[in-house]
Amino acid sequence: MMRRANLLAGALLAAVVATGCASAGASGATAAPQIDFGIDMARRGLWNEALFRFEQARRERPADAKVLNNLAVAYEAVGRFDDALAAYKEAVQLAPGERGVKANYSRFLEFYQSYRPQKPGETPAKGDEAKP
């Protein structure tokens, strides 16, 4: 059980760090320190603080797919899976060509489908199925 938790924590950290942070534009210059601090907190395993920082960054850059990706990873880490799903979907919609975001979303969907038990005869919602 502990090994599984360590693997999940490592995967989540890799998901945040792999996508990095977006470059600061004039309208979101104050978001960059929030993102950097959030990544640092994630590295330390302080996911609630990371989540707070990524939420602050999102206020500055609501349409930034990488910010949304980091936010989704933090939601995932604290167990807010429905919020993670929504943030991942929005990130993929904003940047459909961003490989890191798509990879994190696919990885999350695999987990989410096994986590969220389906009722007999229920099929995954459109967009919730994992794609190769």
Residues 91, 118, 129, 12: is their CA dihedral positive or negative?
positive
Number of domains in the chain: 1
Residue 98 lies in a domain: yes
The pTM assigned to this predicted structure is 0.72
pLDDT tens-digit map of 2-59: 444 444 555 565 666 545 444 344 456 789 999 999 999 999 999 999 999 999 999 9
Residue 94 lies in a domain: yes
CB-CB neighbours of 59 under 10 Å? 12
Residue 18 lies in a domain: no
- Residues 81 and 72: their CA atoms lie apart, in Å, by 8
Range of the domain at 92: 29-115
CATH code for the domain of 63: 1.25.40.10
